[in-house]
Amino acid sequence: MEVAGGPRLAELEALVGQSRAAGMAVELSVEGEERRYAAPVEQTAYRVVQEALTNVHKHAPGASARVRVAHRTAEIAVLVENGPSERGAADAGLPSGGNGLVGMRERVSTLGGGFVSGATEAGGFRVSAVIPDGADGPDGPGRTDGHSRTGRPGRTDRPNDADHTDGAARADRTAAEERRGGVERAKSA
């Protein structure tokens, strides 16, 4: 996992700007009080958005997208959702953040978070990640031994805050179930 010098959440506006410059209509909204997170948390959230936007360019050209970032008490949630494609798949030439959906899922779960992806009822696609804030892990302001307040590696004590930004509550409920050990219902591409 990258740490030193990797991308940060403050760079999301520029990332969205790259997609806009490549012709995609992208809406970015940020909820909650913006703050700094542990480097691996910020980099993972950034990479999830980067890879999801790249996937929209590749697999749903002409589709509009929305990116939502929700700063919460003990976690950060990111959502990238696109509408249906207006034409066939293409490559916009934008840099990819890693290994697609599998890479996103691995990055998020390494930090004890939940990841969900799948088709929407409107014919688009949604990627949702909820990542613990890192306050109890490496590079966080709390413990640095890789264990959370519960003493379990990579997990944190946090309420079952399954509500995400509008329209994504269902995806977050699935992510919350996944964090509790439920059966993963996400589809992979």
Q: Around Cβ 10, how many Cβ atoms within 10 Å?
A: 11
What integer is the mean pLDDT of 141-159? Answer: 36
| Mean pLDDT score across all residues of the chain | 75
Mean pLDDT computed over 17-23: 96
pLDDT at position 134, please?
Answer: 83
Domains and CATH numbers, the chain: 9-179 (3.30.565.10)
Q: Name the burial class of residue 46, with classes exposed (0-12), middle (13-18) and buried (19+) by CB atoms within 10 angstroms of its CB.
A: buried
Instruction: Return the pLDDT at 11.
Output: 96
Q: Is 57 helix (H, G, I), strand (E, B) or coil?
A: helix
- Tell me the β-bridge partners of 131: 76
3-state helix, strand, coil in the chain (%, to 5): 30, 20, 50
Q: Rounded CA gap, 163 and 35, in Å?
A: 20
Task: Kindly state the tokens that stand for 10.
Answer: 């403050």
Strands (DSSP E) found in the chain: 26-31, 65-71, 75-82, 114-119, 125-132
Give the pLDDT score at 26.
98
Which residue did the predictor score with more confidence, 114 or 164? 114
DSSP 11: G
- The amino acid present at 86, given as its one-letter code, is E
The tens digit of pLDDT for each residue in 115-142 reads 999 999 999 999 999 999 987 654 444 3
pLDDT of residue 2: 56
CA quadruple 25, 26, 27, 28: dihedral, nearest 10: -160
* pTM for this prediction: 0.70
Mean of pLDDT values over 9-28: 97
Mean pLDDT, range 96-125, rounded to an integer: 90
Pairing outcome for strands 75-82 and 65-71: antiparallel
Ramachandran category for residue 100: left, alpha or beta (phi over 0 → left; psi -120 to 50 → alpha)? left
107 and 48 in contact (C-beta within 8 Å)?
yes
Which residue has better confidence, 161 or 11? 11
Other Cβ atoms within 10 Å of 105 Cβ, number: 23
